[in-house]
């Protein structure tokens, strides 16, 4: 299998003419995020950042197509690929010298890093692209994502949702060594976003997706991705809290201010001429990374419900979290409803699910809406589940309890057609070159 680090990937998209470059000086405060949002999903490198010696790159992995092409597969191959990597995890190779430690800074001054200030009402400069590695004496290493808001030259407050494995480790230990790793490839990013059993080291999932090398961090006893651009090592304290937020969440709305654990940075290492990976909150890249790891879990639960599942799209229009579009090969009239229940089991935060036939393009919202318009009847093909625990991200869920009403829409056509045909009429295929 090929091995391609973040740096090689950037060089490759540059050679292919897919990377835009900004040579004029730009600010990490609002300007870089504004440009990235305007030009999304095109990757952009900022070669001169006013406040920092380091370059910034953003919009690197914004679409399923880009991620699939990184792995050399098609988007439909991603679900089986990720399922296989979760079940057939493998140990990364441990090396003693690594690019992420080419430079070991003698002191810590976060103001020297291009930590972006994204939107006007944000509570501070934020790291949003870091995978966070930590270790519990019994469970071993864990890797997930935690945004971090800078509030001094050496400290962040970091959002750790209750129930996350990192939160469980923190409750058990009170404080923990951590490594925030920035500048990563999709195997590491996707693995960090998966929710697997406690005790599973997600770096092994990353390695099964595409082999990686790991190295011992310079000041803490953790194995970190050797090819990363920056590593921020230090300690997170459960009881030492600082306000965190406001910050834009997955739904593109503002999350509230909370008291969250402090992350004290004790050591910074990086590559020579390191590149800072930006990841816009709530934007396409954030969405794709959140939604994609839920697709195999939905796929498997729909299959377990006895339905032939063909593909799943936790689509960006549904914030890549609250909606799922599930394509099935319908064999019985009950399959649509079984697939609805399977989806809600496979993804607890899902609020609306749409079940479609194999002739519907689940990546095209127009095609799914067409199925709803022509194949759906609300009295017989809809399942309403009143007031169930939903997503904390949904602004419309009940604010204190997060209770929400979930709905499943069976947009499949009946197996026995009584009236008009449900099929799209086909026009003849022609070769346009013959005429123009």
Ligand X SMILES: Cc1cc2nc3c(=O)[nH]c(=O)nc-3n(C[C@H](O)[C@H](O)[C@H](O)COP(=O)(O)O)c2cc1C
d(CA 59, CA 72) in angstroms, rounded, equals: 19
Nearer to ligand X, 321 or 409 (CB): 321
State the minimum distance, in angstroms, from the CB of residue 251 to ligand X.
Answer: 13
d(CA 208, CA 88) in angstroms, rounded, equals: 7
Tokens read off for 29 = 């405060």
Helix (H, G, I), strand (E, B) or coil at 66: helix
Whether 249 is catalytic is yes
Helix (H, G, I), strand (E, B) or coil at 390: coil
Of 159, 267, 270, 294, which lies in the binding site for ligand X, with binding defined by CB under 6 A?
159
Of 55, 64, 271, 286, which lies in the binding site for ligand X, with binding defined by CB under 6 A?
286
Q: Are 117 and 123 in contact (CB under 8 A)?
A: no
State the minimum distance, in angstroms, from the CB of residue 305 to ligand X.
Answer: 24
Nearer to ligand X, 255 or 335 (CB): 255
Indicate whether 160 belongs to the interface with ligand X (CB under 6 A). Answer: yes
Q: Which stretch binds ligand X (CB under 6 A): 141-149, 208-216, 306-314, 407-415?
A: 141-149
Indicate whether 118 belongs to the interface with ligand X (CB under 6 A). Answer: no
Q: Which stretch binds ligand X (CB under 6 A): 133-141, 190-198, 221-229, 400-408?
A: 190-198
User: 93-95 and 223-225: which strand pairing?
Assistant: unpaired
Q: How many CA atoms lie within 13 A of 107 on its CB side?
A: 5
State the minimum distance, in angstroms, from the CB of residue 426 to ligand X.
Answer: 40
Nearer to ligand X, 130 or 220 (CB): 130
Indicate whether 164 belongs to the interface with ligand X (CB under 6 A). Answer: yes
Indicate whether 169 belongs to the interface with ligand X (CB under 6 A). Answer: no
d(CA 355, CA 409) in angstroms, rounded, equals: 6
d(CA 75, CA 311) in angstroms, rounded, equals: 10
Long-range contacts of 7-16, Cβ-Cβ distance < 8 Å, separation of 24 or more: 7/99, 7/227, 7/229, 7/271, 7/275, 9/60, 9/70, 9/185, 10/45, 10/57, 10/60, 10/275, 13/43, 14/45
Closest CA to 1 of 117, 122, 66, 84: 84
Q: Which stretch binds ligand X (CB under 6 A): 116-124, 159-167, 267-275, 359-367?
A: 159-167
Indicate whether 161 belongs to the interface with ligand X (CB under 6 A). Answer: yes
Catalytic-labelled residue, pool 249, 255, 335, 394: 249
Indicate whether 194 belongs to the interface with ligand X (CB under 6 A). Answer: yes
Residues assigned a catalytic role: 249
The site for ligand X (CB under 6 A) is made up of 142, 144-147, 159-161, 164-165, 193-195, 279, 286, 289-290
């Amino acid at each position: 299998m090929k091995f391609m680090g973040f740096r090689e990937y950037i060089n490759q998209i540059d050679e292919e003419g897919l990377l835009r470059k900004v040579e004029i000086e730009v600010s990490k405060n609002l300007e870089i995020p504004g440009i990235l949002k305007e030009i999304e999903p095109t990757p952009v490198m900022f070669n001169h950042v006013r406040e920092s010696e380091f370059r910034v790159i953003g919009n690197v992995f914004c679409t399923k197509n880009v991620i699939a092409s990184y792995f050399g597969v098609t988007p439909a191959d991603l679900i089986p690929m990720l399922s296989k990597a979760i079940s057939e995890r493998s140990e990364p190779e441990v090396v003693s010298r690594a690019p992420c430690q080419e430079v070991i800074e003698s002191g810590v001054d976060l103001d020297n890093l291009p930590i972006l200030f994204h939107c006007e009402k944000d509570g501070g400069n934020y790291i949003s692209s870091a995978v966070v590695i930590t270790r519990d004496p019994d469970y071993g290493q864990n890797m997930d994502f935690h945004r971090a808001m800078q509030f001094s030259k050496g400290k962040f407050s970091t959002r750790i949702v209750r129930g996350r494995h990192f939160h469980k480790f923190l409750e058990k230990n009170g404080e923990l060594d951590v490594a925030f790793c920035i500048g990563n490839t999709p195997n590491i990013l996707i693995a960090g976003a998966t929710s697997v059993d406690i005790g599973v080291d997600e770096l092994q999932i990353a390695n099964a997706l595409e082999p990686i090398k790991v190295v011992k961090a310079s000041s803490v006893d953790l194995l970190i991705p050797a090819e990363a651009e920056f590593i921020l090592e230090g300690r997170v304290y459960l009881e030492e809290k600082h306000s965190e937020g406001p910050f834009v969440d997955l739904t593109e709305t503002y999350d509230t201010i909370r008291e969250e654990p402090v992350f004290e940075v004790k050591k910074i290492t990086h590559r020579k001429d390191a590149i800072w990976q930006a990841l816009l909150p709530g934007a396409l890249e954030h969405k794709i990374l959140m939604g994609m790891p839920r697709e195999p879990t939905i796929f498997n639960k729909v299959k377990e419900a006895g339905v032939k599942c063909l593909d799943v799209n936790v689509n960006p229009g549904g914030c890549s979290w609250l909606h799922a579009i599930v394509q099935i090969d319908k064999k019985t009239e009950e399959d649509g409803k079984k697939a609805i229940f399977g989806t809600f089991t496979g993804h607890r935060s899902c609020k609306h699910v749409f079940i479609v036939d194999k002739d519907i393009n689940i990546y095209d919202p127009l095609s799914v809406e067409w199925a709803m318009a022509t194949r759906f009847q609300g009295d017989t093909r809809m399942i309403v589940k009143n007031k169930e625990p939903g997503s904390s991200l949904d602004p419309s869920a009940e604010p204190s309890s997060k209770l929400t009403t979930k709905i499943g829409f069976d947009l499949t056509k009946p197996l026995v057609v009584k009236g008009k045909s449900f099929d799209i009429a086909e026009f003849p295929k022609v070769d346009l070159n013959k005429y123009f």
